Copies of this chain bind each other. A is one copy, B any other.
Amino acid sequence: MPERADAARNRAKILAAAEELFTARGAAEVTMEDIARAAGVGRGTLYRRYPDRAAIAVALLDEHERRLQEVLLRGDPPLGPGAPPAERLAAFYAAMVELLERHAPLVLGAEVGHSRFTTGAYGFWRTHVRILAEAAGAADPDVLADVLLAPLAPELFLHQTSRGVSPERITAALRTLAARLL
């Protein structure tokens, strides 16, 4: 059965309020109660849908990530299939940096707790990179995939940019990483 009209309205209010708060203050500084109040909704209503902040951040990110995942699977090269692995990896890095740039607070919010590696998205990125590593004939692609994804950790991205490092420099460094390793 479909969602009731008022429920859908509240879901939208919650997501809008949460996105606003996350980007304004950073996910760590936002409580469930803040979100409920900002959305004009009771705490019970909030918990009915989202067990914690991470779930809300994941919901907010979902759309953006899905789009990138789609392109990786079926888009044009070099992001999509067709280009040599090293170039595809470099393109993937560039896309991820851009995603971090736009949604870093959300990505970080999605990792409340220790969720980073257990989230569905990480599994997807991991598989993608592992397949690239395999295609390039790398030794132990399974471990290499994690190593290649490590520099995309959102805390690192935030730390670098807060130190004044531009996203472009990060992308450039990752491009050489891709070129050297695959």
* A114 to B114 CA separation, bound complex (whole angstroms): 12
CB distance from A94 to the nearest CB of B (A): 14
Give the residues in chain B near A150, CB-CB below 8 Å.
150-151, 153, 156
Give the residues in chain B near A170, CB-CB below 8 Å.
143
Q: List 11 A-B contacts (CB under 8 A).
A: A114-B155, A116-B155, A116-B159, A139-B172, A139-B173, A139-B176, A140-B169, A151-B151, A176-B181, A180-B181, A181-B181
Q: A residues touching B (Cβ–Cβ < 8 Å)?
A: 28, 114, 116-117, 139-140, 142-144, 146-147, 150-151, 153, 155-156, 159-160, 165, 169-170, 172-174, 176-177, 180-181
* A140 to B169 CA separation, bound complex (whole angstroms): 8
Q: How many copies does the complex hold?
A: 2
Give the residues in chain B near A159, CB-CB below 8 Å.
116-117, 146
Chain B, residue nearest A182 (CB) = B180
Contact of A156 among B117, B139, B140, B174 (CB under 8 A): B117
